[in-house]
Amino acid sequence: MTKAPIPRAEVVKLIRGRYKEISGTELKNKSVSIINKLIETDDYLQADKIFLYLSFLPELVNTRHLIDFAGGCGKSVFLLRPDASEKMRRFQFTSYDDLIKDIYGFYIPNFGIEEDLSDIDLIIVPCAAVSLFGQLVGYGNLNYYVNLRNSFAVKYALAFEFQLFHRIEFGRKDILIDKIITERRIINTREN
């Protein structure tokens, strides 16, 4: 029997309740575990250019360690530069000094160039929740998620187990994630 998708508003409410039950130290440890799993995947090892988010919001997997590690391995790291238009802007990360904090708590580049993502090998997508089938409840700029659909790069969601659901209500502007990494497992959504 197939489970019915959970409405997005209910997912957000459930996540808020689950998040309150976990300490900051536990979230930090889980983030490290998730990043360690990612950097051992073939997708990461083969990627030269990685597009991802940087956030210090505690309910998101912290990618700062990934950014530092990838840069140290000679990989090119790109961050989103949101803007009010429909255009995607990206910024090649070189220093934390070039970042500012936006209204969603994301650290973003102070400037960015308009460019497509056709040369990106791996995309790490921020999420509030994700389903076993790759349905994602995102954060912030909707244009960001819409633009990601135009990329053929493999898309990963880094999520805590409490952000994982069987099925989530899916909208026409939503994207599907290819793979999910939690502190416990790696899920290939194409197999579900």
pTM equals 0.89
State the chain's mean pLDDT as an integer: 86
pLDDT tens digit sequence for 75-85: 999 987 766 66
19-74 confidence digits (pLDDT tens): 888 998 999 999 999 999 999 999 999 999 999 988 767 788 999 999 999 989 99
| Number of domains observed in the structure of the chain | 1
pLDDT at residue number 181: 98
Instruction: Dig out the tokens for 86 from the structure.
Output: 């429909």
Question: Is 82 part of a structural domain of the chain?
Answer: yes
158, 170 in Cβ contact below 8 A? no
pLDDT for res 84: 62
Lowest mean pLDDT among 15-19, 125-129, 132-136, 148-152: 148-152
- Of 94-103, 140-149, 167-176, 178-187, which gets the smallest average pLDDT? 140-149
For 72, the domain range is: 8-191
- Residue 1 resides in a domain: no
pLDDT in tens, 26-40: 999 999 999 999 999
CATH number at residue 33: 3.40.50.10420
pLDDT tens for residues 155-185? 999 999 999 999 998 877 778 999 999 999 9
pLDDT attached to residue 116: 76
Please indicate, yes or no, if residue 3 is contained in any of the structural domains. Answer: no
Query: Which two structure tokens, joined as six digits, stand for 89?
Result: 């802007």
Q: In this predicted structure, what is the pLDDT of residue 141?
A: 59
pLDDT band at residue 1 using 50, 70 and 90 as cut-offs: very low
Q: Does residue 27 form part of some domain?
A: yes
Give the pLDDT of residue 159.
Answer: 96
Distances (CA, A) of 71 to 3, 34, 102, 125, 155: 42, 18, 23, 18, 19
In Å, how far from its chain's centre is CA 173?
Answer: 17
Q: Is residue 67 part of a domain?
A: yes
Q: How many CA atoms are closer than 13 Å to the CA of 6, on its beta-carbon side?
A: 22
Distance CA 184, CA 127 (A): 17
CA quadruple 14, 15, 19, 20: dihedral, nearest 10: -30
CB neighbour list of residue 54: distance below 8 Å, 6 or more residues apart? 63, 64, 67, 79, 93, 99, 106, 107, 108
Q: Which of helix, strand or coil describes residue 45?
A: helix
Asked whether residue 2 is domain-assigned, the answer is no
